[in-house]
Amino acid sequence: MLIESNHAQVAVGPILELKTVTKSFGGFIAVNNVNLALERKPVYGIIGPNGAGKTTLFHLLSGFLNPSQGQMLFHGQDITHLPPEQVARRGLVRSFQITSIFSHLTVLNNIVLSIQRRQTGGTRLFAKSDWRDEYLGEANNLLDEVGIPPSLRESPANDLPYGLKRAVELGISLAAQPEVLLLDEPTAGMSLQDIGRTTELIARLSKERMVVVVEHNLGVIADLADEIIVMQQGSILTRGKYQDVKVDPRVIEAYLGKRH
Ligand SMILES: Nc1ncnc2c1ncn2[C@@H]1O[C@H](COP(=O)(O)OP(=O)(O)O)[C@@H](O)[C@H]1O
Ligand SMILES: [Mg+2]
Query: Per residue in 71-83, pLDDT tens?
Result: 999 999 999 999 9
CB 241 within 8 A of CB 235: no
Mean pLDDT of the chain: 89
Is there an atom of ligand 1 within 6 Å of 167 CB?
Answer: no
Order of all β-strands in the sheet with 16-25: 28-38, 16-25, 69-74, 77-78
pLDDT for 254: 86
Is there an atom of ligand 1 within 6 Å of 51 CB?
Answer: yes
Is there an atom of ligand 1 within 6 Å of 28 CB?
Answer: yes
The protein residue with its alpha carbon nearest to ligand 1, atom 5, reads 25
Domain boundaries, the chain: 2-38+55-179+187-212
Query: Per residue in 1-19, pLDDT tens?
Result: 344 444 444 456 899 999 9
The residue to mutate among 21, 24, 25, having the most atoms of ligand 1 within 8 angstroms of its beta carbon, is: 25
Residue 260 banded pLDDT, cuts 50, 70, 90: very low
**Closest ligand 1 atom number to CA of residue 26:** 4
Query: Per residue in 141-200, pLDDT tens?
Result: 999 999 999 999 999 999 999 999 999 999 999 999 999 999 999 999 999 999 999 999
CB-proximal residues (5 Å) to ion ligand 2: 54-55
Is there an atom of ligand 1 within 6 Å of 49 CB?
Answer: no
Cα-to-centroid distance, 97 and ligand 1 (Å): 17
Rounded distance, CA 63 to CA 22, Å? 14
Classify domain 2-38+55-179+187-212 by CATH number. 3.40.50.300
Is there an atom of ligand 1 within 6 Å of 53 CB?
Answer: yes
Query: Per residue in 107-153, pLDDT tens?
Result: 999 999 999 888 876 655 555 556 678 899 999 999 999 999 999 99
The protein residue with its alpha carbon nearest to ligand 1, atom 8, reads 56
**Closest ligand 1 atom number to CA of residue 58:** 17
pLDDT for 133: 80
The residue to mutate among 32, 56, 64, 213, having the most atoms of ligand 1 within 8 angstroms of its beta carbon, is: 56
pLDDT for 8: 45
Q: 3-state secondary structure string, the chain?
A: CHHHHHHHHHHHCCCEEEEEEEEEECCEEEEEEEEEEECCCCEEEEECCCCCCHHHHHHHHCCCCCCCEEEEEECCEECCCCCHHHHHHHCEEECCCHHHCCCCCEHHHHHHHHHHHHHHCCCCCCCCCCHHHHHHHHHHHHHHHHCCCHHHCCCEHHHCCHHHHHHHHHHHHHCCCCCEEEEECCCCCCCHHHHHHHHHHHHHHCCCCEEEEECCCHHHHHHHCCEEEEEECCEEEEEECHHHHCCCHHHHHHHHHCCC
pLDDT for 240: 96
Cα-to-centroid distance, 127 and ligand 2 (Å): 36
Is there an atom of ligand 1 within 6 Å of 50 CB?
Answer: yes
The protein residue with its alpha carbon nearest to ligand 1, atom 17, reads 53
